[in-house]
Every structure is written in structure tokens, then in C-alpha cells.
Structure 1
Amino acid sequence: MDTQQNVNRSVAWLRASIAVLPVIAASLLGQLATYPNLASWYAGLVKPSFNPPNWIFAPVWTTLYGLMAYAVWRILKVADRATERRIALAFFFVQLALNALWSWLFFGLNNPLAGLLNIVPQLLIILVTIERFRRLDPVAAACLVPLAAWVAFASLLNFEIWRLNG
């Protein structure tokens, strides 16, 4: 195998790692705060009628995290617009950090208001990320639309849980 093929393979692995590892980390960090509090705290909260059953969250988030990683991988492959790519990725990673932090605020602190104060700006940053990704790769942007829809729904759910239990 020649040197260029080795470089190409290394770049491909680096892109995949940058796309996948932070998303996995966010997922695991969120789970660390969420799962210990489901039965002990969350189960006792008053929830709105549109609250989904607990089993739905894992497959939804698994799908959303997969789409996020794929979107980032596509953005990392955009070659000729480095500054725009860096800005788009910065927004992405800010929303990803807010995503992981939400679990610690809502579940870890048992505080729906803290979760609400996180999820509203998180949703706005997701929307900005979609717009920034759209300028670089419309498919990558489309991959984040389900995330925006779910976080919008989660924002409403978070608000109602706060309202009903405040």
C-alpha cells in the first residue's frame, strides 16, 4: 500500500472518530444521570397526557445520535470551506454539550426548571446548526431535523413537567 493510501485511511479514521466518539460520550454521560433517577424520582412526577412511555426514549435517542454522528462525518468531509465548517461544527458541539448537560440538570439534579433553562437555548442552537450545516451539505442538515423536532417536543414535555410539579 502506498503512502497516499495510508494517509487517506488515517484521515478517514480520524473523521469517523471525531464524528462518533463525542456523540457516544454525550450519550453515555446523559445515561449516567438519567437511569439512576428514572425509578427513584422521574416515576413519581406528574406528567402530561402526551408523555411517551419510557421505553420509547432509548430507540429514539439511539437513532438521533446515529444521525448526528453521520451529519458531522459528512460535514468533516467538506473540503473547501474550512472556516464555515469550523463554525458549523462549533455550533454542533455546543448543542451536543448542552444535550449531555440537560440530563444532569433535569435528572441528576431532579430539577425540571434547570432542564428547561438548558433545553430552550439548546433547541435554538440546534436550529442554527441545521442552518450552518445546510450551507455546507444539505443532507447533513436534514439529518439534524429529527433532532430539532424531538428536542422541540422534549421542550414542551419539560415545560409541562415543570408546570405540573412546580
Structure 2
Amino acid sequence: MSDNIKILLITVSALLLGFVSGFSTNDAITTWYPTLNKPFFQPPNWLFGPVWTVLYIMIGISVGLILTKVENSELKKKALVVFGIQFVLNLIWSPIFFGLKQITLALIVIIILLVMIFYTIKLFSKLNNSSGKLLIPYFLWVTFATLLNGAIVYLN
């Protein structure tokens, strides 16, 4: 199997996992979430789907490049473990925030997620500069989401 096909499959897997995490919370997005006080900088709900779609594609390509283009090393193993941890944190945030309605716990998770994304970028950049750069929009979006989550905790 070619490296490009592997990267495509990894990217599709990232998208599917992200969509499963998001779809599991759809009811709360339309019923519970509108009842919360939100800050003035809350974007429209329709924006989240397209943004996350693009981000999951970039995440998939980033990790795909590490898996296919970088020779095995201790640094690669460490980078992939850190990536895995941050990706699990990403996937559990929505069920914690929307499913369990635990906005403070979700804030703790997203702060840890943000730190782990930063660490992933640092490690990926040492292995493949493009892989690290592909994660910068993800880091920026999660920074915004962290501020939004924090504001929701404060306002509620």
C-alpha cells in the first residue's frame, strides 16, 4: 500500500472518530446547550462542523506523515504516544461537556488537551516540520474553544 493511501486511510479514520464523538452529543446541542449563558464571542453553531472537518483532515495528514515518512525512533514513539493522548482527550471532551453536562470537568480536560497539542506540535516539528505546522490551526481553534469553555463555566 502506498504512503498516500495510508495517509488517506488515517485521515478518514480521524474524521470518523471525530464525527462519532460529535454525533453522540447532538441532542444536548439542540436542547441543553441553548439554555446556557454564553459569551459575546460565541460563534454560530453551524460553524463548528465545517471547522472540525477541516481540522480532523489536517490532524489525519499530520499523523499520517509521521507514521509513513519518519523512520522509527524513540522520538517518533514518544511523539505518537503524546499524539494519542491528546487525540483521546479531544474525543472525550464533547461527551463530557455535552453528554455529561460537566462543563467544569470539560474545562479541565480541554486545558490538558491544549497543553498536549502544544507538546505534540513540538515533537512532530522535530520529526517532520510540515506535520507540526499542520497542527497549528488545531492548536489555535482549541485555544479559542478553551476560552469559550472557560467563559461558559464563568457565566453559568
Q: Which residue of 1 aligns with 2:112?
A: 121
Question: In the TM superposition, what are the counterparts of 1:1-166 in structure 2 within 5 Å?
Answer: 9=1, 13-14=5-6, 16-17=8-9, 19-165=10-156
RMSD: 1.6
Give structure 2 stretches of 5+ with no counterpart.
Answer: none
Per-residue CA shift, 1:61-92, capped at 9, x if unaligned? 00100000010111112343432112111111
Identity within the alignment, %: 35
Q: Residue type matched to 1:143 in 2?
A: L
Q: Which residue of 2 aligns with 1:6?
A: none
What is the alpha-carbon distance in structure 2 between the residues aligned to residue 84 and residue 104 of structure 1? 31
The alignment's TM-score, normalised by the length of structure 2, stands at 0.92
Per-residue CA shift, 1:75-125, capped at 9, x if unaligned? 112343432112111111111110110001100011211110100000000
Distance 1:130 1:79, change over 3 A: closer
- SS across alignment from 2:47: helix
Q: Residue type matched to 1:67 in 2?
A: M
Give structure 1 stretches of 5+ with no counterpart.
Answer: 1-8
Q: Residue type matched to 2:141 in 1?
A: W
- SS across alignment from 1:49: coil
Q: Residue type matched to 2:109 in 1?
A: N
The alignment's TM-score, normalised by the length of structure 1, stands at 0.87
How many correspondences in the alignment?
A: 156
- SS across alignment from 2:135: helix
User: Which segments of structure 1 move beyond 4 Å, counting only runs of 4 or more?
Assistant: 10-16
Tell me, yes or no, if the aligned pair for 2:107 and 2:149 is still in contact at 8 Å.
yes
